[in-house]
Amino acid sequence: MANSTHAHLRYNILDYCFRNKSFNFEELLKFVNEGIAELYPGDGISTRTLRDDLKVFRDKERGFGAPLPENIRVLKYTDPKFSIAQRSLMGHEQYLIDAAQQLLSRFENHPRYDKLAEALIKFQDEEDSETDTSKILFYDQNEEYKGIQHLKPLYLAIKKKEVLKITYKGFKDENSSSFEFHPHLLKQYNRRWFVFGLNKTRETKEWSIPLDERLIGFNILEDISYIESNTDWDTFFRTMVGVVRPVDAEVVRVILRFHNGREQYFKTKPFQPDYDEFLEEDKQDQVWFDTILNNELVQQILSYGHDVEVLEPKSLKHKMREHTSVMQNYYMI
């Protein structure tokens, strides 16, 4: 029977190692104990516990059924695409989820409860649907998203104030490039995660990196001092739509007029949360907000089709005219 103390943490560390490292048993034990000690100082596991964990990973009936051969020196998955995150919860894990749901139900009126409850309900629904076709919840999720495995390591790098060497290759790049990066925060936008920080190689603050296949990988630079951010991130994001901020972008006032009652749809899910309305009776179909101009703003406006009109500023009106002119040429008959 595997040691249940911080078992979930151990399993995640082991899963990461089997996918990304090439450790022998002793190296693996050292790495796992270092990971445990970061969250539980003074704690660790024995050789016996690690051997029991390996049995759990290999067990096809009561474990993860991982492609982890026995009697090999290097402990690594034979299928690099395998991850325990893709497997159904084991019995004791489902028990913990159920217990957590019961515990959180005590805080039903707490303002933070809603997000926790949503996550737990999603867990429950996905597990139930493994054996029952009557799935209840359908989430707007990105099935092709390939960058989620970077989320936790980057989160920990920010917490531990680690400097990273990023290897990146854009969709249009012929070759990959590397640069020194000081990560400061993570942000989700449009069903994709981004990490923001200082690109020291280019001496650029607020550099954003998408967590997808363009991020080839990263390593910790041990002997370089971490540089803290002095950016007011709340103001930074509240004055823009999306995650791309052009160099020297200026905040301007945008005024939109909606048609066919579409202003009501905008108000239920505004793409700029700090919008405001006009008091005048003849302007109830208009909204305004202060933001920078970028492609993501244009894309959000275009999503309303002919039901929205840009009134100000003139530079944004010109951008919209350029887009609609090109689109018109697509449909010439």
Total residues found in the chain within this entry:
333
Please indicate, yes or no, whether residues 312 and 271 belong to a single structural domain of this protein.
yes
Q: Which residues pair with 288 in a beta bridge?
A: 255, 276
Is 181 within 8 Å of 199 (Cβ atoms)? yes
Is 247 contained in some domain? no
Q: How far is CA 159 from CA 162, 163, 184, 226, in A?
A: 8, 11, 9, 11
Under a CB-based contact definition with an 8 Å cutoff, are residues 214 and 222 in contact? no
Residues 98 and 81 in one domain: no
Q: Over range 126-155, report the average pLDDT.
A: 66
Claim to verify: residue 44 and residue 100 sit in the same structural domain: no
Per DSSP, which regions of 33-173 are E strands?
A: 164-168
pLDDT, mean of residues 61-77:
90
Residue 153's pLDDT is what?
Answer: 87
Residue 73's domain spans which residues? 7-87
Instruction: Please report which confidence band the pLDDT of residue 314 belongs to, taking 50, 70 and 90 as the band edges.
Output: very high
pLDDT value at residue 1:
41
Residues 125-147, mean pLDDT to the nearest whole number: 59
Looking at the structure, tell me whether residues 115 and 179 fall in a common domain. Answer: no
Q: Would the pLDDT of 14 be above 90?
A: yes
Percent residues over pLDDT 90 in the chain: 54
Give the integer Cα–Cα distance in Å for 100 and 232: 35
Task: List CB contacts of 39: < 8 A, sequence separation 6 or more.
Answer: 6, 9
Query: Residue 210 forms beta bridges with which residues?
Result: 194
- Residue 12, pLDDT above cutoff 60: yes
Give the integer Cα–Cα distance in Å for 232 and 313. 26
Do 25 and 48 share a domain, yes or no?
Answer: yes
- Residue 54 to residue 48: CA distance in whole angstroms: 10
If you average pLDDT over residues 124-151, what whole number do you get? 62
Answer with the residue of higher pLDDT: 79 or 140: 79
Q: Are residues 260 and 325 in the same domain?
A: yes
Residues 22 and 44 occupy one common structural domain = yes
Whether the pLDDT of residue 92 is over 60: the answer is no
pTM comes to: 0.66
Here the tokens at position 51 are: 């051997």
CA atoms of 278 and 327, how far apart (whole Å): 31
Asked if residue 67 belongs to a domain, the reply is yes
179 shares its domain with 221:
yes
pLDDT score of 248 = 83
- Tell me the pLDDT band of 143, cut-offs 50, 70 and 90: low
Any domain includes 137: no
Given a cut of 80, whether residue 322 has pLDDT beyond it is yes
Average pLDDT, the chain: 85
71 and 104 part of one domain: no
User: Is 192 inside any structural domain?
Assistant: yes
Tell me if 301 sits within 8 A of 320, measured CB to CB.
Answer: yes
Whether 202 is in a domain gets the answer yes
In a domain, 61, yes or no: yes
In 3-state terms, the chain is what percent helix, strand and coil (to 5)? 40, 20, 40
What pLDDT digit, counting tens, does each position of 149-203 carry? 788 889 889 999 999 999 999 998 999 999 999 999 999 888 889 999 999 999 9
User: How far apart are alpha carbons 72 and 60 in whole angstroms?
Assistant: 19
Task: State which of 230, 265, 296 marks the end of a domain.
Answer: 230
Q: Examine residue 313 and say whether the peptide bond preceding it is cis (omega within 30 degrees of 0).
A: yes
Residue 116 lies in a domain: yes
pLDDT at 91 over 60: no
**What are the residues facing 165 on neighbouring strands?**
180, 219
pLDDT tens string 275-311:
999 989 889 999 999 999 999 999 999 999 999 999 9
Q: Domain count of the chain?
A: 4
